[in-house]
Chain A
Amino acid sequence: MHAEVPIAAYLILAAVLFSIGVGAFLIKRNLITVFMSIELMLNAVNLTFVAFAHEWHQIGGQIFVFFVMVVAAAEAAVGLAIIIAIFRTRQTLNVDQIDLMKS
């Protein structure tokens, strides 16, 4: 049996994951969960890179995903350090109460 999956199905799956990431980014009120939905969006984009790398038989897409992973690791380290610093000064993780630049 040769049940092949069209590349478009992978792209649609990535679109679903990316849209859920966008929705979670806008809806969630916890700073850490907002940061996690950014990671979800990065993962969805990585899936499109791998799918296109498979489609056009190019290694470049996979190398791009590798660099995205490295940058995401660095970003997570710095971002979570910023979250710890915010929690230390303001004692909250709710994004509605972190409005120092608003007034």
Chain B
Amino acid sequence: MHLALFIIFGALAVAGALNLLLQRHPINSALSLVVVMLSLAVLYWSLGAEFLAAAQVIVYSGAIMVFFVFVIMLLNAGAEERTTGSRAAYLAGIPGAAAIFCLLSFVFLTERNALGSTAIGGYLSHVTSNISELSAVLFTKLLLPFEVTSVLILVAILGAVVLARKEQ
């Protein structure tokens, strides 16, 4: 069951990411990124992070991607054209990405025996609810960083308004 979930949604995430890379129109890339984020939400749930799975659906694939699609439609972005820069980018991009993948998977595979395996809906420390454990830490030990993020969001709202405003 767990293995089947991992294979199905892992393959879906990789397929969505490859589709993001291969599509030429930004709206197709945005929709395939939504597929990646939704399948990652299922994987979070299978790793016992129920709150993060819900937040991933609501914040990432709900708010952020709707914002992306909104901007793509507002700017009427068409398919990207091939330029001399894109040929150079192909020469640098594919080997660079392959090198990073080889390095990361080498490290993970050599450390494979030190890492365990996971059963579905794994819990963290025998607490019944993932949300209660998360919020207990977030609202006691990490209250100051949590409040500082609200200031960060306020600054981001002001920055977005100032940047997107029409120049007088």
Chain A residues in contact with chain B, CB under 8 A? Answer: 1-13, 15-30, 32-33, 35-37, 39-40, 43, 46-47, 50-51, 53-55, 57-60, 62-63, 65-67, 69-78, 80-85, 87-88, 93-96
Partner of A74, one of B30, B71, B142, B152: B152
Determine whether the beta carbon of A10 is less than 8 Å from that of B47.
yes
Chain B residues in contact with chain A, CB under 8 A? Answer: 1-4, 6, 10, 13-14, 17-18, 20-21, 26, 29-30, 33, 36-37, 40, 43-44, 47-49, 51-52, 55-56, 59-60, 63-64, 67-68, 71-72, 74-75, 77, 80-86, 89-90, 92-94, 96-98, 100-101, 104-105, 108-109, 111-112, 115-119, 122, 124-125, 130, 133-134, 137-138, 142, 145, 149, 152-153, 155-157, 159-161, 163-164, 166
Determine whether the beta carbon of A93 is less than 8 Å from that of B75.
yes
Q: Which residues of A contact B108 (CB under 8 A)?
A: 8, 11-12, 15
Q: Which residues of A contact B98 (CB under 8 A)?
A: 19
- Per DSSP, chain B at the interface is helix
